[in-house]
Amino acid sequence: MTDDLKIKDLKKQGIDVTAPQRVQFLLSFKTEEQAAGAAKDAEKLGFKKQKIYEQSKNNVMLWVSKSVVPELENIKAIHKQLMPVAERHAGIYEDVEWEIVLE
């Protein structure tokens, strides 16, 4: 699902997309060490590490979060921040993998 469709879906769910929300973003790596290095870099950019877990052999997931207003421009700006973080640690950041954390 594209970013604009996700935002429209959030509106349909009654989520206020004009107020800051905790948004999680997913990055993937081959090792926990790569994920941990990326988590440190992301934290320097204001993200919070949520969890690192091994989904399968050579497939380690890193979820990071940040409180942002989930508008298209903000989400795209975050994509631009996280792509180089993943690349520096030989990982993948798929910019379609993000979600609002409802608390």
Nearest residue to 99 (alpha-carbon basis) of 33, 46, 23: 23
pLDDT in tens, the chain (103 residues): 889 999 999 999 999 999 999 999 999 999 999 999 999 999 999 999 999 999 888 999 999 999 999 999 999 999 999 999 999 999 998 776 788 887 6
Domains of the chain: 3-100 (3.30.70.970)
pLDDT at position 92: 92
pTM above 0.75, yes or no: yes
Q: Which amino acid belongs to residue 64? A: V
What torsion, rounded to 10 degrees, do the Cα atoms 45, 53, 79, 102 define?
A: -90
Instruction: Please give the Cα distance from 46 to 41 (Å, whole number).
Output: 9
